[in-house]
Structure 1
């Protein structure tokens, strides 16, 4: 399994690097749009490895995140009560219940990477307090790019690049719901490389959407990305010392 995880990570890094060039600088040809779905499945798969590693009940929680996110978003698109009024296009692949099936691995990626990143902070209840905030912070980079590229279409205005504020509240509530289950069953990581790579995954998602937003004229989004990088640089050395001093956390 470790070798397979390493293979998926290396493949994702290659896919990310190519995507950063093609998507980030608007060079992706129309016939290669399917690559976006592959990116989501690769990132979601690697985040799933991490969730499986730190959650004894992962066989229940992972499907909950995958299918639960699609059902929650389906409810949102049909009612507008959670995220605001919006509809999905088919740019992210075929729809199921009005939602691209790729939203399942996308949410696994967001939750898994946010959870790994939250481990940088040594505070009580960090899963419940920090993970939902990190997912919203990630969406501050994702949503402007997704809206600009017509991955989904907002049907009401908002002050942040045309995105309703309600959307970010919906993200927070959804992430908090999943975090409740994670917090109940979480265990310390014994494979620190897996955890650290998922922290990098969080950064890479920010960089991809931050660069894409910046090259598209959405310059404020780059501030969101840069702030996350600065936080990582500020806290990573403390995290590394802390995990090194606890044998249970060693790989």
Structure 2
């Protein structure tokens, strides 16, 4: 069995355990590190996807650039308030490097892998894929940020916003970072790999589902409903386009 298949099965196992523990608030404080492992596994799946679609060398380069660029953006953002607004990370999402959780780089890999697969499925127009991909990234953040901030306090915002006290600049920053990375990916020639593209669809759906459940149990109903609707429409558009 290949590394990718073993990784995917282990992710499913970890996901099921995590959903049960988080949804029913059974996760003990000493097991908080399990949330970081979830994002790391998600990011590793995205690395496999990029390697399958673009080849090992190109896929590895894409993955490294995504990790480093997003991590640098998060470091600049949390240190100087540029791009995302004024915020800082707590120690609840450790381990941290330069005051930024290492899992954040893997989270961005998951965001880019899933949003790239969906954007490519929705349209074959190369110039439009980065825009759609960046929009999908923002959809993911519409649920991640309220849950991570309001319920988990993995990071703290020091300025207000209309959407759960999160500044608009955060979502604009997400769009810009994702757009730049999606444009970068355009420079590489893809191979056909429908199997792992479908797994990115599933990774997107599972991630959204978990955070929506957390939002529902944490009484963040608007965030859950809004994200579920937008994510559902995105998946519907991608799957319908692939079928036709």
Residue 168 of structure 1 is matched in structure 2 by 171
Residue 25 of structure 1 is matched in structure 2 by 24
Residue 247 of structure 1 is matched in structure 2 by none
In the TM superposition, 1:97-108 aligns within 5 A as 97-108=98-109
- How big is the shift at 1:228? 1.3
Given that 1:55 and 1:182 are in contact with CA atoms closer than 8 Å, whether structure 2 keeps it comes out as no
Counterparts of 1:36 and 1:16, CA distance in 2 = 10
Find out whether 1:43 has 2:42 as its counterpart.
Answer: yes
Q: Go from structure 1 to structure 2 and tell me whether the alpha carbon gap of 1:100 and 1:16 turns closer, same or farther (over 3 Å shift).
A: same
Given that 1:127 and 1:182 are in contact with CA atoms closer than 8 Å, whether structure 2 keeps it comes out as no
Please list every run of 5 or more consecutive structure 2 residues that lacks an aligned counterpart in the other structure. Answer: none
Given that 1:92 and 1:100 are in contact with CA atoms closer than 8 Å, whether structure 2 keeps it comes out as yes
**Helix, strand or coil for the counterpart of 2:23?**
coil
Q: Go from structure 1 to structure 2 and tell me whether the alpha carbon gap of 1:72 and 1:227 turns closer, same or farther (over 3 Å shift).
A: closer
Please list every run of 5 or more consecutive structure 1 residues that lacks an aligned counterpart in the other structure. Answer: 243-251
Residue 180 of structure 2 is matched in structure 1 by 177
Q: Go from structure 1 to structure 2 and tell me whether the alpha carbon gap of 1:60 and 1:225 turns closer, same or farther (over 3 Å shift).
A: same
- How big is the shift at 1:3? 1.9
Please point out which of 185, 190, 194 is paired with 1:187: 190
Residue 140 of structure 1 is matched in structure 2 by 142
Please point out which of 128, 131, 143 is paired with 2:130: 128
The structure 1 segments of at least 4 consecutive aligned residues displaced by more than 3 Å after TM superposition are none
In the TM superposition, 1:67-106 aligns within 5 A as 67-106=68-107
Residue 222 of structure 1 is matched in structure 2 by 224
- How big is the shift at 1:144? 0.1
Please point out which of 150, 155, 159 is paired with 1:152: 155
Matched positions, count: 239
- How big is the shift at 1:186? 4.0
Counterparts of 1:143 and 1:41, CA distance in 2 = 17
- How big is the shift at 1:234? 4.8
Counterparts of 2:37 and 2:169, CA distance in 1 = 29
Q: Go from structure 1 to structure 2 and tell me whether the alpha carbon gap of 1:225 and 1:25 turns closer, same or farther (over 3 Å shift).
A: farther
Query: Cα RMSD over matched residues?
Result: 1.6
Structure 1 stretch displaced more, 112-121 or 204-213: 112-121
- How big is the shift at 1:24? 2.7
- How big is the shift at 1:37? 1.4
In the TM superposition, 1:107-122 aligns within 5 A as 107-122=108-123
Given that 1:24 and 1:209 are in contact with CA atoms closer than 8 Å, whether structure 2 keeps it comes out as no
- How big is the shift at 1:221? 1.5
Counterparts of 1:55 and 1:80, CA distance in 2 = 35
Given that 2:123 and 2:129 are in contact with CA atoms closer than 8 Å, whether structure 1 keeps it comes out as no
- How big is the shift at 1:101? 1.0
**Helix, strand or coil for the counterpart of 2:204?**
helix
Q: Go from structure 1 to structure 2 and tell me whether the alpha carbon gap of 1:134 and 1:230 turns closer, same or farther (over 3 Å shift).
A: closer
